Every structure is written in structure tokens, then in C-alpha cells.
Amino acid sequence: MYRKHMTDEKNCKFKQMMWQNAHTGVCVEQLYPEVDSIEIHYIRDHSSAFGSSHRDDVWKVTPQSEACFIIECLNPECSTIGFDLGSVISSAIHYHKTEVSGEMDCEGQEAPDHPEQSCDGHVEYTIKIVYK
């Protein structure tokens, strides 16, 4: 995604708007009634001129969780909210897969005032789905 130069404040507002749009207000059991649980193991990396960061997390999704599968980019100044696993999960459930893994590069910019530099954020994920 390419955007023009933005101030931090504008970037922050833009990200809030993206989060609001991302929220479905629908829970997992409404969308995927056959799903009992989803476990998302994910490893995030980001490096910039200021150093690098690395995080390893597990996200447990229950039928009552909101069907919003966005993992935040580790770059706090990133111009996008992060990695949307929504379509990966929906297609995995469609094909009744119990495990799916992959990786994604962040599509944001490094910082709101660096529109020419793309964000280095990266995620590696393994999604485990248990059906009823």
C-alpha cells in the first residue's frame, strides 16, 4: 500500500480507522459453526535502522472470539495495522484443513514520514483448527 507523507498523528488516526473497519462484530461460531477452536502460532520479526525485534506468540481463538484475525506489525511506526489472516483461515476452514502454515510480509511503510521505504515487518504462522 502506498500513501503520501503523513504525520504521526494522522497515521495513528488512519490506523484506528483501519482497526474499526477490520472489526466484524461477528463471533467465530456465527461465521464458522463447525469450528471448536483455532490456535495461531506466530513469529514476528522487524528490523530497521534502530534495531531489530522478534516475538513468538500463541493466540487461542474460541467460538466466542470475534472473527477478526489481525496480527499487529512489530514496527510501532508502521503505516498499516499488520497482517490479516482472515482469508487464510477462511479458506483453511472451507477445505476443512486442520493445520495450515505460511508467511507474510508487511505491506506497510516503514514510518509515516518515509513513504518511499516499505516496512520490513514479517510474520511466520501455523494455524491449527479443531472441528466439532
Closest CA to 53 of 35, 76, 29, 28: 76
Q: What is the C-alpha radius of gyration for the chain, rounded to an integer number of angstroms?
A: 16
- All residues at 6 or more sequence positions from 93 whose CB lies less than 8 Å from its CB, including other chains: 32, 34, 35, 129
CB 124, min distance to Zn ion, A: 14
Q: Which stretch binds Zn ion (CB under 5 A): 19-27, 57-65, 96-104, 107-115?
A: 107-115
Q: Which stretch binds Zn ion (CB under 5 A): 12-20, 52-60, 87-95, 106-114?
A: 106-114
**The binder of Zn ion chosen from 44, 67, 75, 92 (CB under 5 A):** 75
111 binds Zn ion (CB under 5 A): no
Phi, psi of 120 (to 5 degrees): -90, 0
78 binds Zn ion (CB under 5 A): yes
112 binds Zn ion (CB under 5 A): no
Measured CA to CA, the distance from residue 12 to residue 16 in angstroms comes to 6
- Pull the grid cell for residue 89: 483461515
127 binds Zn ion (CB under 5 A): no
Give 24 or 118: the residue with its C-beta nearer to Zn ion.
Answer: 118
For Zn ion, the binding residues (CB under 5 A) are 73, 75, 78, 106, 108, 119, 121
